[in-house]
Each structure stands twice: as structure tokens, then as C-alpha cells.
Structure 1
Amino acid sequence: MTIDLTALGWDAEWAAYAARYGEHRPGRVARVDRGVCTVLAAAGPVRASLGGAVLAAAARDLSALPCAGDWVLLARWPDGRTTVEVVLPRRAALIRRTAGKDASGQVLAANLDAAAVVEPVHPEPDVGRIERLLALAHESGARPLVVLTKADLAADPVALARQLAAVAPGVPVLPVSAERGVGLDPLRAEVAPGRTLGLLGPSGAGKSSLVNALAGAVMMPTQGIRRVDGKGRHTTTWRALVPIPGGGAVIDTPGVRAVGLLDGVAGLDRAFADIVGLAEGCRYADCGHDGEPACAVGEALLTGELSARRWESWRRLQREVAQEGGRREARLAAQRRGGWRSARRRAARPPSPGGF
């Protein structure tokens, strides 16, 4: 089995990076299971463990570990082993904060051209979740989309999409039904040859059904809607890159119960571009939007141009990002202190006999 890497996005820029590392074979990570990668290489899929340089980089920063969507360079050893020796620089990455207190990041998917926030219309969309995931998508460097799944269950999916466009300024909002094949054409353009679409959303949102509909075959397992509450069942438990026949790829991520934001101020500003635009109209550049005179945000809240719910969502996420930024700085400072202490201990160590 051979694989056309250009259909998966390999291009001259990636090849130029790879040329710096000699004769290693390139490939794209489809899946990672406990440190073992399934990599799509030109000669076919291979299973590869992590090489020493990759493990050393991950010891300093866990986000250096390969993930679905990464382009990597492989080495084949005389004993038959294949290892990932290099993770090539990422053009885009979906990164969420891990559950720990050290403000580190977990890469959900890499090298996306578009990042779709997938939200089911039934029983009803969670607007706050859409806002949070959009901030993550904006910060990734990929082009964000909002995909409203199970649109066949909505009375008027087009009107619902127009309504939700207010919380996704400048972002396409696409109602789709994978079961009926409705509304998929705009998404097919996102998985054209050489392009990669990432799907981000809660369990049961219909991400796996979307993958299957775009691929034209059952590539990911799916389950039906629960009768009790109308919600979809959790299906995917790993991140997987799925090649699409004819070129392009989709990365399906596990359902996320909670997504913590890192210090992604730029992504948050783009997700709330309407509030940022209002704030620029305030009389004072340092306006706190808390009763100051000529506050454009306060006026918008009074007139109803800006909803109190969206304003509170913005403030909550701003506090979270500021807090995580502080934690990250504290972690980096501790690492620097640890490095200085190690350097001082090495400098104070007496030389060994013979001067070595």
C-alpha cells in the first residue's frame, strides 16, 4: 500500500525542513497510543516508537510530543525498529490547558487548515461552550468554523445558524445533517487535497458521523442518540487523522468535557471581536467598563446591543486566561531558577583527576 503524502498536505516547505535532517523518511501521524505512533508514510502505514531527541524535548515540554496531524521524520534501525526522530514545526495547533496546576498545554491536533467547533442543535446548543471552543480555534492559527450538527432535528436550522452567528463574529456557522447528507458541501471544500479539517466538540456531537459522511464510508464508529435526554453517546476515545478519498484529511478528537484556555489573549480577542470593537469606542483607553463615563461597552449593555450573558462570558474567560498566564510565568521562572541552581552546582564541583 502506498500513500500520496501531497494529498495529505506534504509540500515544498515541509520538504525543505526535512532536508536539514538528512535521509529520514517523512510521514504524518494518524494516531498515538501510549507513546507509539501510527504514521502514514509513502510506503504505507508504520508503527513507530519515540526516538531519544523527541523524548528529550518532551521532558522539557510535553507539547513537544507528536500528536495526530504532526509531520514527523522516521528512522529505520537494523533490528527492525522504526522511531520518530523529529517532529517538524507546526503551522497550526489546537492546544488546551491540562488539568494540572502547572499551566502546561496538551496538543489536541496539529497542522490544521480549518478548525471546526462542532455543536449539536438538539436538545439545544451550548452558547458558552461555543464561545470557549472558538477562542481555542482562533488561537490555533487555523481558520475557525462553527458546525451545527443534527440540523434535521431543528425546526428552522437556518434561523438558528443566523442567531448563533452573533456569538461567532466573522466565523461561518454551518448547519449540517450527516445522517441526511445535508449542508456538507462547504465542509467538503475544507478537506480538498492537501487540506486538513479538525473537529472539536463534546461527546455525542456527531463528529464521527461527520467524518464518515465526508469520507463516504464508515471510518469511525458511531452510536445513536440516548432516549433519556436526546444526547449522543460518547464514541471516540482517541485523536485520529482520517485520510479522505481523493485527498485531504479530517482529524476527529475525543469529546472534551472541559477545555481550559492557556494564555491565548489573541484567540480570545478574535472570538469576542464585537466586544473588542466596542471597547475601542470608549473615551478612556484604560476604561474598566465598570461605570466609567462614555463607556461604549456600558452603553451597549444598556441598549441591548451587547447581551449581559455574552459580557459575563467574556469577563470570565479573560480572568481565566490572565490566571493561566500568571501560572505559566511562575512555572517558567521556577524552571529558570532550577537551571541556574544546576549550573552553579556544576561550576562549584571540583575537577576530576586529570582535569576531565
Structure 2
Amino acid sequence: MLFVYGWNERWQAAWEANRPVNTTAAQPARVTAQYSHTYKIVCESGERLANVTGKFEHLALTRGDFPAVGDWVSAELLDDRHAVIHSVLPRQSAMTRKVAGQTNEEQIIASNVDELFIVNALNQDFNLRKIERYLILAWESGARPVVVLTKADLTEEADLRVSEVEAIAPGVPVHAVSALTNQGMEKLLPYLLPGQTIAVTGSSGTGKSTLLNWLSDANIQRVQGIREEDARGRHTTTHRELFVLPGGALLVDTPGMRELQLWDADEGWKEAFSDIEEMAAGCRFRDCRHEREAGCAVKAAIQQGTLDPKRLVNYFKTERELARLARKEKRTEQRKSVSAVKSSPHPRKSARGKVRLAEEEE
């Protein structure tokens, strides 16, 4: 059963290295769905509903420490329907977002993902700048990004759109598909290998749930229409859940996202704009800001037509956004440190928060 959900020698080794010492009844399980504070897990003997133990909840420092869809956990079975979770095995990758509201805290969207399908529809929702931000999410998470342009039947310029995305996503595979006309599935099949975990992310109305149903050849997820005048969709997926496809691949469907907020994603930002970073290496001055300096290779690329000026604008915009958020996080950490010193008998043992690329759900 566990091998169907991606268990392998690597995870077996991780289990042996992190096996709980406080109970002999614990066994490995994978989180396949999350409903508020309750989880659905699958273990060797089947599915259970589970909650974390009181000790787990007490020791968790942030929401990001709690289990997420895709996590491998140590679970103790209580009966044929229920279990408790003792711990989470170290994650190989993690898609994260900032929790809603003003709180500076991470929440795991999905973990242990091998590929991330970034879905954007070939209708009025098509937006290169939005795809750039999703690429930052992918690179920061540790998953391999794949851009899937859905609803290819709505345009006669699908090949042009693919070329435009390839220009802003160096080295990233880009595929145009249509579930309605059964176009392009053969391009996605090489990713759907047994035991591989794929997460699907994108805005509401881009066809994520339709894509899942199409790839599984079944109505796994309910779908809804969109407002054609602005291509905005209503929520179909309301929670994160992992499904096993007929060929053995595992696919995580996630709720539609309205807005992406960056949260300490410096490495993901550099990777997403790697072409500009490489151009900047050719500038005459090492500290070139790519504005009015002589010998600027980035400005030269714009003049030669090899770099879209809008891409450079987004590069600067995300750089400023990350710097602003870093300052905000630093102030938050300073306040936490002061609070810990005042309240703790051991002031040197204050906790440090985690930071990740974040996105806000619609």
C-alpha cells in the first residue's frame, strides 16, 4: 500500500533515522488530505482519520510545523478508523504560503512534491507576469516546475504563447493542452510516473480540477464554469488533497490562488530570473543597477530586443518586494526576541521563525 503512495528506499532510510522512540506502535503513513485540524492519512493497512498528539501540538512552534498534504508522518493506529500523528519526517520539498491576514507565519500548501504544474489558461487569464511569480514559488519549494497552458482550444496562437512563456522561463518545460479537445495529453504523460508526486497550482478558473479529471479519466474533482467577461472562476477545490492516478502517479490538487505574496524567496527569485542574472554578469560595473550606467549588458539586451522590458520591470518589482518583506520580518523577529527575553527564564533559547515564498488564497 505505501509503495503506491510513493514510499521508497529513501523514505525507508528517513524513517529509520527518525523513528519515534516514545512508542513502538508507530508506523509510517502519508497525509493525503487536510480538513481544518483533521488529516486523512494512508498507512499499510488503509486509510484513517488522524489528529496530532497533544505533545506534538505543544512542541510545534509555527503552523508550518504541523502536517501537510504530501507529508510522511509517524502514526499510531487507534482503531480501524482513527489514528494519531506523533511526528513529521523531514521534508524533501515544500510549497509554502503566508497565512491569511497580517500574521507573518508560513503554512505548507503541499510537501514532498517532485514536479509542480503551474497552470495558466489561454484565455483572458493568460499573464506572463503571473507565471513569473509562480515560477518563484516553484524554484523556492525545491520542486521542478512545468508550465501547463490549458484551454488551448480557445486560441489559434497557442504556439506563440508557448514561445512567450519559454522566453521568461529558461529551461522550464512548457506545454499547451486542451481537455475539451483531448489535445496535448501525450506531452504530460512522461511526468506521470509511478510514485512521482505532482502538485497543481494556479488561479481559479484556469482548469486545474478539469486537468486532474482529464488525466485520471474520471470525475475525481467537481468543476465549475467561469465568467467569460473576465475569465475569473469560482472555487471548485476547497482543500488540498492527494490522488492516485491510474498510471501510479500522485497528484495534489490545490485551491485556486488570487494573489502571490513573496516571503523570503531570494533563491527562487534569482532562479526565476536567471536569464537577467546571467546578463548582469556581462555588465561593465559589478554593482550595475541596470538603469543609466554605461556598459550595461541588461539594457543592451532590451535595445537589441532579446529581453522584454516588462520582464525587467517585474525583476525590479519583486526585488523591492522581497527587501521590504525582509525588513518587516526582521522587525517581527526583534519583537519576538524581546518578548521571549521578558517571559523566558532562559532568554538565550528564544525560537526563530521560518520564512518561505508565500501565496494568498482567494
| TM-score calculated relative to the size of structure 1 | 0.90
Partner amino acid, structure 1, of 2:247: G
Q: Deviation string for 1:21-46 (max 9, x for gaps)?
A: 25412211111111000112221111
Matches within 5 A, 1:261-276: 261-276=262-277
Given the superposition, is the C-alpha separation of residues 82 and 322 from structure 1 closer, same or farther in structure 2, using an over 3 Å criterion? same
Q: Which has the larger radius of gyration?
A: 1
Match in the other structure for 1:350 = none
CA apart distance, 1:103? 3.2
Match in the other structure for 1:39 = 41
- Which secondary structure does the structure 2 equivalent of 1:281 belong to? coil
Contact kept, 8 Å, 1:104 with 1:328, in 2: the verdict is no
Partner amino acid, structure 1, of 2:146: L
- Which secondary structure does the structure 1 equivalent of 2:190 belong to? helix
- Which secondary structure does the structure 2 equivalent of 1:267 belong to? helix
Given the superposition, is the C-alpha separation of residues 246 and 80 from structure 1 closer, same or farther in structure 2, using an over 3 Å criterion? closer
Partner amino acid, structure 2, of 1:42: E
Q: Deviation string for 1:110-161 (max 9, x for gaps)?
A: 1100011100001251111101111101111010111000111111312221
Contact kept, 8 Å, 2:47 with 2:81, in 1: the verdict is no
Match in the other structure for 1:352 = none
Match in the other structure for 2:5 = 8
Q: Deviation string for 1:320-350 (max 9, x for gaps)?
A: 1122222223333333333333344899xxx
RMSD: 2.2
Matches within 5 A, 1:210-249: 210-249=211-250
Matches within 5 A, 1:1-356: 4-19=1-16, 20-21=19-20, 22-58=24-60, 60-77=61-78, 81-344=82-345
Q: Distance in 2 between matches of 1:80 and 1:289?
A: 60
Given the superposition, is the C-alpha separation of residues 12 and 155 from structure 1 closer, same or farther in structure 2, using an over 3 Å criterion? same
Contact kept, 8 Å, 2:192 with 2:247, in 1: the verdict is no
Q: Distance in 1 between matches of 2:138 and 2:2?
A: 25
Contact kept, 8 Å, 1:52 with 1:85, in 2: the verdict is no
| TM-score calculated relative to the size of structure 2 | 0.88
Partner amino acid, structure 2, of 1:143: R
Mean Cα deviation higher: 330-339 or 271-280: 330-339
Q: Distance in 2 between matches of 1:35 and 1:147?
A: 32
Q: Distance in 2 between matches of 1:132 and 1:72?
A: 30
Partner amino acid, structure 2, of 1:313: N
Contact kept, 8 Å, 2:69 with 2:110, in 1: the verdict is yes
- Which secondary structure does the structure 2 equivalent of 1:254 belong to? coil
Over the matched positions of the two proteins, sequence identity in percent amounts to 36
Mean Cα deviation higher: 204-213 or 119-128: 119-128
Contact kept, 8 Å, 1:224 with 1:232, in 2: the verdict is yes
- Which secondary structure does the structure 2 equivalent of 1:258 belong to? strand
Given the superposition, is the C-alpha separation of residues 121 and 346 from structure 1 closer, same or farther in structure 2, using an over 3 Å criterion? closer
Partner amino acid, structure 1, of 2:145: P
CA apart distance, 1:14? 1.6
Q: Distance in 2 between matches of 1:346 and 1:323?
A: 28
Given the superposition, is the C-alpha separation of residues 121 and 80 from structure 1 closer, same or farther in structure 2, using an over 3 Å criterion? closer
* Structure 2: runs of 5+ lacking an equivalent: 349-362
